[in-house]
Structure 1
């Protein structure tokens, strides 16, 4: 085996380890949706109360991720990722042992800080351990951990929780987290520390209204998906008859369709542009969610609608990322850090919106709320294309209009 082949194999194995880490974190976040009724029963709490732990988790990750990047900028990447994986694992252990909602909330807080240290660092590291021409593929490979969490982790966790109790998938995640914790220091030993980034550079993208509009689209697009996904057990109760297995099949079909959508989203975005691609996806999602509201009693129809919904939701991320990167390519890394924050804030507002919909009209109103938020995301995203930013060119002092 040549040196190049050894290097390629080594980087691939390390990327796989990072992907597994993101898979564990993503599954821990999404599996709550399928297990919501069982967790509530096990803790003696209401489903609404348990759903708010998702908000707590997401808000903490959204706030802690940039804070960790700033405060711990000089800590070794291996040490930071290993510490994050360890905190995540401890959090899931506490969750699996929880006998009350209070302890479950504490568990989610611990796991959130772990995810905030692990996920953004893993994404940044992925781009540095491969050749420049392979960075895009490396990021996609590691990021697939979240896609697989939705496609496989959450449905299988729901099925396992239905068969063996909601704590069983938690213990499985503990095993994965422990493995990642042990292997990261070995796999990433001796990695150089990154160059520090100033606070001004980190917040610079937020001075551009086009970025703000795009991030607003990301936030509400993420919320529109999670409003329905988090409360899927309640929304689809008539269709599934309360069966965790039937719900798991629906989520598995949804996730599989999402993988398919993710495969073609890049090509579609390259051909038709981010504006058209994201707009069509958001419109189709809104229509599909309205249809779910009116056909929530039919399992076959919901199965079909979840296929359509899964394809378009997975296809949303790529054109939105494409848009953010294309606004200011020179500062793309800092802009994408805010993309992650916007996504987690979208997850955070989903439970309050879903609970409000249930309180107003029952579970059938949840998909309608998701559709309304999807339209709001569409409006904000398109608003960014109607905005032209006037900026001064520092080297010449000449005001120029930057095309959207």
Structure 2
């Protein structure tokens, strides 16, 4: 792998740490701005909403700019938003900062994947994508805990400034180590949107959204399930979440190695394991051993299917930044949908285990979303069989004539 791929992974790590870090400083921000805990939660929703809507819009504005320059522009835009967050004087100014960074992060994700696809051959794109996406995994394992520790020791503003420094370093590394991108041929918006007139692409988007929705319907409520249903002590929760995080890193390494050759098999097998893990967790949430095994399984096969998801999207519609940015938005929508529906079932009185059943339903729907691919394979095999039959008949005729 070219070293530039790891630079892109650092960029994603820095931006994703910014996305997650608010979850570790909710109490501090609530006291700082004099708002409720739920209002601070909206800062996370605002970031995610900006990724879903704003990222593709910003990407459209950058279509005719060389990809390296586009990424540097997005890093600069992100730095402005993150610095505003570190200086925030009110809840409203912090919300503006979160929207800016959310938009830049979504577009940055799409452009980074597009750049990484151009740095390697088609046979290595899945592995390269796994390294870039690995920045997201490492952010959950290292970035979020580190930001929380810094916040506890030095205050939340220091955590924000540390991310500013990380993003600045990734921007400098991008300037020095990522090769210059050629100026693209003039791209019309209509031409770029033509890539979306593709059933295979939308099927791939649907699968990605459902995989992440299934995972986050469960992950979003791990803490209360582990303590109030399974009965773990609160002090065990960080350890169990770290175990989940390590499982995602290991899973990402495995799928990254295999995604180029077995993307669809990874998605099908991964969805089966994910759904089985969620159902097992829901049925055995009162058992410590079953819970730990389920958490590990969900970690290995949930989010780590990202490289296979990215490979499928790029094979369906190419490596354009808009296609990849919309994929990021679709994934983020899955996060929002899974978390929200899981929360609604708890609020509706169905119990803390209900989000696990929501995740299981998402997993089943994800498997159903693969049916168009299965049908296409069956049709191709049928055509191939008929073709071989015709060849055999021709051979028989030739032999008889001879």
TM range (shorter): 0.7 to 0.9
Residues 148-297 of structure 1 aligned to structure 2 (within 5 Å): 148-158=138-148, 160-161=150-151, 169-187=159-177, 191-238=181-228, 239=231, 241-243=233-235, 246-265=236-255, 273-293=262-282
- The verdict on how the C-alpha distance between 1:194 and 1:324 changes in structure 2, with shifts beyond 3 A counting, is same
- Whether 2:357 is the aligned partner of 1:357: answer no
Match of residue 3 from structure 1: none
- The verdict on how the C-alpha distance between 1:117 and 1:316 changes in structure 2, with shifts beyond 3 A counting, is closer
Q: CA deviation at 1:53?
A: 3.2
Question: Is the Cα–Cα contact under 8 Å of residues 151 and 252 in structure 1 kept in the other structure?
Answer: yes
Question: Is the Cα–Cα contact under 8 Å of residues 75 and 108 in structure 2 kept in the other structure?
Answer: yes
Match of 2:78 among 88, 109, 113: 88
Which deviates more, 253-262 or 151-160? 151-160
Match of 1:141 among 131, 134, 137: 131
Match of residue 367 from structure 2: 378
Question: Is the Cα–Cα contact under 8 Å of residues 123 and 139 in structure 1 kept in the other structure?
Answer: yes
- The structure whose Rg is larger is 2
Q: Distance in 2 between matches of 1:58 and 1:282?
A: 24
SS of the counterpart of 1:236? helix
Residues 65-80 of structure 1 aligned to structure 2 (within 5 Å): 65-80=55-70
Which deviates more, 217-226 or 90-99? 90-99
Match of residue 332 from structure 2: 344
- Whether 2:114 is the aligned partner of 1:124: answer yes
SS of the counterpart of 1:28? helix
Residues 34-113 of structure 1 aligned to structure 2 (within 5 Å): 35=25, 39=29, 43-98=33-88, 101-113=91-103
Q: Distance in 2 between matches of 1:30 and 1:99?
A: 21
Question: Is the Cα–Cα contact under 8 Å of residues 235 and 366 in structure 1 kept in the other structure?
Answer: no
Q: CA deviation at 1:183?
A: 4.3
Match of residue 391 from structure 2: none
- The verdict on how the C-alpha distance between 1:44 and 1:293 changes in structure 2, with shifts beyond 3 A counting, is farther
Match of residue 297 from structure 2: 308
Normalised to the residue count of structure 1, the TM-score between the two structures is 0.77
Q: CA deviation at 1:311?
A: 0.8
Question: Is the Cα–Cα contact under 8 Å of residues 155 and 248 in structure 1 kept in the other structure?
Answer: no
The answer for unaligned runs of 5 or more in structure 2 is 380-402
Q: CA deviation at 1:116?
A: 3.3
Q: Distance in 2 between matches of 1:54 and 1:200?
A: 33
Match of 1:15 among 5, 29, 32: 5
Question: Is the Cα–Cα contact under 8 Å of residues 209 and 387 in structure 1 kept in the other structure?
Answer: no
The answer for unaligned runs of 5 or more in structure 1 is 1-7, 391-404
CA deviations 1:169-220 (Å, max 9, x no partner) are 4333222123234444444585432333332332234323232222111112
Q: Distance in 1 between matches of 2:94 and 2:241?
A: 24
